[in-house]
Structure 1
């Protein structure tokens, strides 16, 4: 009888090196959390929820705040990542997400990463602006940037001619400093362009614009998933590059600029100020873009 009572008393306790220690219930807690370079995904499984996190004395409380069923195919911007250990001892990856909706209220919370997916296709359907309609034969950079600004809702009542009156010019015809030459005529011996750094600086006067030069096409696709169209420097008709040498360095004489606003398997969608809106094969655009990796994202 004494033995039976002792066994009962020991139920739910563990023997430590210094005596009897009461067993602790498994807790739910954050193992690690960090900010990440913002990237985009979309709702993949509407059975899930987003949560608000609250930690008290190391114990994590997760309170549901939104049902994913209310956000089918919604695009989400991911800015944080957290590894959560739940009471069952298993660890789960959660992302902090904010819904992306033009001109609408945004929603946010933590969501299990497997409820999101990378979209197989995106088409922002950015507006088209023709450089040829105003005889701005060399104005593709300005037109492409304005397309992106209009998509974001900036300068919507401003046309290309009025916009180019604000175009920053290079006093020494170096496109690294501003636009070289004239957007309305061909100037012999001058590389008539404005490169990403000064273009981004100009665009930042109206909307957040980021110089993405050096970025891979996969990073540009991530910008599109965040609803950010990208000004890309390619070649005219996606042809083989024709190089020229100038006092500031080497340029591509058949360079051209357009707005990248979508993708799907095997193709990219562009708003080309010279030829309109269309799908181009991924291989053609990749070859043309990879000559310089020049890009500016309108965010």
Structure 2
């Protein structure tokens, strides 16, 4: 533990969190604090993980567990002209604080807010002041006028077709200069891109990008009749944006739960932490390893029996094992998205043998959330929202026909 800031005079603080435990330099718990308890701090300290602590006579208290009574933690406010718009780009969300660094509430990914100015904290880090008078960390926000579409993925698609009957809105890399592109237009794909919030786009010209959710991917027909889509408005959780290599089943389940307004205040990281792990690494018993890394001899996935048991802690789930196209569409017509087991990029299955039996190395899960005459729409934890031919979907799905309706 290293002291990094000394106050000119002792500062009174108020404990604002039930987790107000006191520790010593060796991070051992030596006491507790009551909510609303008054303490005095002389300095701020930092551990090896860059976590801040108040230095008090009673011990070290986490910086997030209290706020100042008199000291203004933020200062040097410079007002914007005109007011700017910003959105939260940190996948965990960001905290909103008062001038005295009292934590007020958490803002989720893509939450929009009006920014009236900027200032700095006592360490000279830049913070932004909102129109409501609260402070947000500048590094956690995207501001209007900054580049929006920045990340490039490996090109797996050379061409696309606009499926949305209303067409799609194309924008430049700043999310500006919108223009309408009509339905059924066939366009070349120069790159698959991602914006700062983890949403997928297709680059179709030098500085022109369209959202993947309006597009047909993977296999394009010679001619596509006008489609009349039925689509549930689900979110997309990008597992790679969260740096979770093997979390497709958890992401698909949480997207379905959120659609029905379950666990709305639970983010992907928090949900992953509740996922049952299999002591024997058998994915039928729980998750077979770590969501964050691949280990030889293990299979990092969770299969329907274990996923059903886990998911039923939060809502009713219907096991659609063996469901055909008609049954999948019936679930969607009931207003319920369907978690389906397929293959990555809907490629041919790549089987391998494990102690529990045959398993496909290119295992993947997506949330089925829409259909039309010829197409299915999915929310893919790797590639975002998009349309694909029913035949392409069924070829990958039919290998196992594992599906779970989320009610």
TM-score (normalizing by structure 2)? 0.44
Q: Which residue of 2 aligns with 1:29?
A: none
What pairs up with 1:182-221 in 2 under 5 angstroms? 182-221=290-329
Q: Which residue of 2 aligns with 1:159?
A: 267
1:174 matched to 2:266: no
SS in 1 for 2:241: helix
1:147 matched to 2:255: yes
> What's the CA shift for 1:217?
2.1
Query: How far, CA to CA, are the matches of 1:294 and 1:182 in structure 2?
Result: 22
SS in 2 for 1:214: coil
Q: Which residue of 2 aligns with 1:124?
A: 232
| RMSD (Å), alpha carbons | 1.3
Query: How far, CA to CA, are the matches of 1:248 and 1:270 in structure 2?
Result: 29
Q: Which residue of 2 aligns with 1:135?
A: 243
Q: Which residue of 1 aligns with 2:336?
A: 228
> What's the CA shift for 1:198?
1.2
Query: How far, CA to CA, are the matches of 1:188 and 1:159 in structure 2?
Result: 29
> What's the CA shift for 1:235?
0.5
> What's the CA shift for 1:192?
1.2
> What's the CA shift for 1:239?
0.3
1:254 matched to 2:254: no
1:287 matched to 2:395: yes
What pairs up with 1:37-186 in 2 under 5 angstroms? 121-186=229-294
Query: How far, CA to CA, are the matches of 2:384 and 2:293 in structure 1?
Result: 21
CA contact (8 A) 1:231 1:295 kept: yes
1:269 matched to 2:377: yes
Structure 2: stretches of 5+ with no match in the other structure: 1-227
The number of aligned residues is 181
CA contact (8 A) 1:197 1:211 kept: no
Query: How far, CA to CA, are the matches of 1:140 and 1:211 in structure 2?
Result: 18
Q: 2:386 aligns with which of 275, 278, 286?
A: 278
SS in 2 for 1:163: helix
Query: How far, CA to CA, are the matches of 2:325 and 2:267 in structure 1?
Result: 29
User: Whose RCO is larger (CA < 8 A, sep 6+)?
Assistant: 1
> What's the CA shift for 1:150?
0.3
> What's the CA shift for 1:201?
1.4
> What's the CA shift for 1:240?
0.4
> What's the CA shift for 1:200?
1.3
Whichever of the two has the greater Rg, that structure is: 1
Query: How far, CA to CA, are the matches of 2:308 and 2:378 in structure 1?
Result: 19
Query: How far, CA to CA, are the matches of 2:367 and 2:244 in structure 1?
Result: 17
Query: How far, CA to CA, are the matches of 1:174 and 1:210 in structure 2?
Result: 22
Q: 2:351 aligns with which of 225, 240, 243?
A: 243
> What's the CA shift for 1:121?
3.7
Query: How far, CA to CA, are the matches of 2:404 and 2:370 in structure 1?
Result: 15
Report Cα offsets for 1:110-151 as digits up to 9, x if no partner. xxxxxxxxxx64200211111011111100000000000000
Q: Which residue of 2 aligns with 1:27?
A: none
Greater helix fraction, Structure 1 or Structure 2? 1
CA contact (8 A) 1:174 1:248 kept: yes
